[in-house]
Amino acid sequence: MSTKHPNNSSPTPESRPTDSESVDGGLLSPPPPPMSSSPPRVLIIGAGSRGRAYANAIKSSSNGIVTAVAEPNVYKREEFARTMIWGGEISPADGAVFSDWREFITYEAARRARLVAGERHIRPGVDAVFVCVLDEMHREVVVALTKLGGLHIMCEKPLATSLQDCVDLYEALRSNKNDKGEQMVISIGHVLRYSPYNMALRKLLLEDRVIGDILSVVHTEPVGWWHFTHSYVRGNWRRESTTAPSLLTKSCHDIDVLMWLLCSPASCAEQGSEPPHLPSTVSSTGSLQYFRRGRKPTAAGNATNCLSCPVEDSCKYSAKRIYLGSELVGLGTGNKNWPVSIVVPDIESYGQNETARQAVLSELAKNYDANAPDAEIAKRNWFGRCVYECDNDVCDEQVVSITWDDDPILAPPLIKTEDGAPLSDAMRGRGSKTATFHMVAQTERVCERYTNLYGVDGEIYADSTTIKVHDFRTGRTVTHHPRHEGFGHGGGDIGLTRQFILAVDKVKNHGWATERAQKELVACTLEEVIRSHAMVFCAEDARRGKKVIDWKEWWSNEVEGKLS
């Protein structure tokens, strides 16, 4: 897929007549941390695409081991257990496979009771849990785990699908403590924080200060024209009433990165000693612009399914083209992973291509008519449904604007440049600034984010692969190529998993306090997690009300005011 810069009227870094140099971060991933004598034992709840992604990252890049899975789908559960847990063994060990998370809770409570009673030869429990169920299930599952207590928790993003549920989880996670009274380690699936690319960008901005104080950031998430239809028109996240706004389900990553770059101290270890630079105002605009009946081509007539549509062969959103074709990500390319595996979860079990093709066609043919109850329609996905005739209602276009006021810290420590010269900086990165985020569906790029950052001493263009820094003072442009790791999100899946498991290991085997592991290794506090989620809900309030919101007042009323 192309990574070219979108057309605009201003000169790009490529066209500027300046000297330039390149800094290459390399392509090799660091080796996994060394195994302890008693490595962290992990349960995966939810063996879908995210659960498998984290399990693969645990096996390849961490010093933990996957010892259990909870998954209601028989095929997914058995396939996950076979490949991730016991390999060639004929039968699983006790406490390794659960039909759902409730069965695990029951088992674990009984296991602990047997330990207290002095029973011997009991299988060790798990130390940490990855929660990878549907978004709307997060609250129920995480609350149950915190009531069980004593488990480190990594929850896939978003933490929850409503502000009140996020507040409830804020309280629940703060109460999840070990026998020393320490809050257990928590992580959220904001994997973009952990990609080498974003970590390099943040270091350049906040530690190296290559463009000085940041004045403005313009960040774009191009979802991709066919990807948006798969997930947000036909798929799981198409209805706000059953999941959440697309700003949360798709773009909470991006809002989190902006808050991470513009609010948080340069080092997570400074949390508490240095207050975050909190926003001043929030506003947002957006709507469901395109994927609705009024945009349907007239030649399609009354067709509601691609397989019966008279113009299917010329429609770019044809389900046959997307899921069976040979030009995008369909079965015709040899792909049996996402998104084909979302249409037919057991697609790998169909050996012959024609058999697999018929299985996909069978799913695409499923449809509903005007008499179908809405509750039945909402229960499942309809991947063969016409994109102009779906029951989707989430935004396919949205802009969020966030502003900050001057908020200097009195008597800041003296900052020096790389050559040791003192640098006058009364604001110390806490001056007024603006961030603009744009989520857009109709793009060639698929989730290949790009960002323009403007500072007092220079500007940066970053495109998910390279970071181009232009220095106003020297006229030079330096291009950085951060290390790229495998798996998803530019190495973010690996990075998050490695750091979370390492934090669990340090607490379990090396005497670290959980607070130290949280700050130094996870490098994200629970408050930061809640703040970035709250920002999404604040932006949604602004969009619906067509207003500019005072962030501090809103936070006081909607978050702090709802804590018991």
**Which 3 state secondary structure label does DSSP give 187?**
strand
Give pLDDT tens digits for 437-475: 999 999 999 999 999 999 999 999 999 899 999 999 999
CA distances from 268 to 147, 263, 527 (A): 28, 11, 12
* Intervals of the chain under pLDDT 50: 1-18, 27, 411-412, 421-424
CA atoms of 558 and 306, how far apart (whole Å):
44
Annotated domain spans of the chain = 13-24+196-290+393-486, 41-192+494-525, 293-378
Is residue 436 within 8 A of residue 221, CB to CB? The reply is no
Is residue 449 within 8 A of residue 220, CB to CB? The reply is yes
CA-CA-CA-CA torsion sign (241, 247, 251, 256): negative
Encoding tokens for residue 311? Answer: 């113009």
Which helix (H) or strand (E) element contains residue 492? helix 492-509
Residues in the chain, overall count: 564
Encoding tokens for residue 202? Answer: 């943040």
- Backbone φ and ψ of 222, nearest 5°: -85, 105
- List the one residue out of 116, 102, 96 whose CA is nearest residue 147: 102
CA atoms of 365 and 344, how far apart (whole Å):
13
* Whole-number pLDDT of residue 14: 40
* Whole-number pLDDT of residue 521: 96
Is residue 429 within 8 A of residue 277, CB to CB? The reply is yes
DSSP symbols for 239-301 = -TTTS--HHHHTTHHHHHHHHHHHTS-SSGGGBTTB-----SEEEEEEE--SSSGGGS-GGGT
Which helix (H) or strand (E) element contains residue 362? helix 353-364
- Taking domain 13-24+196-290+393-486, whether its CATH number is 3.30.360.10 is answered by yes
Encoding tokens for residue 529? Answer: 């997690």
Dihedral class, residue 193 (left if φ above 0, else alpha if ψ from -120 to 50, else beta): alpha
**Which 3 state secondary structure label does DSSP give 41?**
strand
* Whole-number pLDDT of residue 492: 87
Beta strands in 405-515 (DSSP E): 415-416, 422-423, 433-440, 450-455, 458-462, 467-471, 477-481
- List the one residue out of 119, 182, 122 whose CA is nearest residue 150: 182
CA atoms of 239 and 250, how far apart (whole Å):
13
Residue identified by tokens 């084909």 is 340
Give pLDDT tens digits for 424-447: 466 778 999 999 999 999 999 999
The fourth-level CATH superfamily of domain 41-192+494-525 is NAD(P)-binding Rossmann-like Domain (3.40.50.720)
Percent of the chain with pLDDT over 70: 89
* Whole-number pLDDT of residue 90: 52
137 Cβ contact list (under 8 Å, min separation 6): none
* Whole-number pLDDT of residue 353: 84
- List the one residue out of 44, 187, 65 whose CA is nearest residue 124: 65
